[in-house]
């Protein structure tokens, strides 16, 4: 017998492995079909948004034009730097999360 949850699970699609980065104080999440990332606190309240600048197998660099801050999201740590800085400084420990898209038309 096929249940409704089985049918729904069959519609789910595994998303790109680097679309959500979680740490103990919140998450960074990439919008669907966009290069915009949003940062949320642990209560899932929006903090700010970033634009994706660069992506490689090692991680993602996102940038906030208003503040001039860049964020490096790697598989184990998150770093930040201001425009005038040449190196990223560690901000959080965390990791990318695997995400499934179960929305219609995914």
- 3-class SS string, the chain: CCCHHHHHHHHCEECCCCCEEEECCEEEEECCCCCEEEEEECCCCEEEEEEEEEEECCEEEEEECCCCEEEEEECCEEEEECCCCCCCEEEEEEEECCCEECCCCC
Quick check: 61 and 71 in contact, CB under 8 A?
yes
pLDDT in tens, 27-54: 999 998 899 999 999 999 999 999 999 9
pLDDT in tens, 67-105: 999 999 999 999 999 988 999 999 999 999 988 777 765
Q: Do the bridges between strand 20-23 and strand 69-74 make them parallel or antiparallel, or are there none, so unpaired?
A: unpaired
| b/e burial code for range 50-74 (CB count within 10 A of at least 16 → b) | bebeeeeeebbbbbbeeeebbbbbb
- pTM of this prediction? 0.80
Calpha distance 73→93 (Å, rounded): 10
């Amino acid at each position: 017998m096929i249940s409704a949850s089985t049918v729904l699970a069959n519609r789910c699609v595994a998303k790109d492995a680097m679309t959500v980065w979680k740490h103990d104080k919140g998450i960074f999440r990439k919008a669907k079909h966009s290069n915009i990332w949003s940062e949320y606190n642990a209560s899932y309240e929006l903090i700010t948004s970033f634009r994706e600048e660069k992506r490689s197998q090692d991680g993602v660099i996102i940038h906030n034009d208003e503040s001039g801050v860049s964020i490096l999201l790697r598989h184990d740590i998150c770093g930040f730097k201001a425009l005038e800085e040449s190196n990223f400084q560690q901000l959080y420990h965390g990791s990318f999360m695997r995400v499934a898209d179960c929305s219609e038309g995914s």
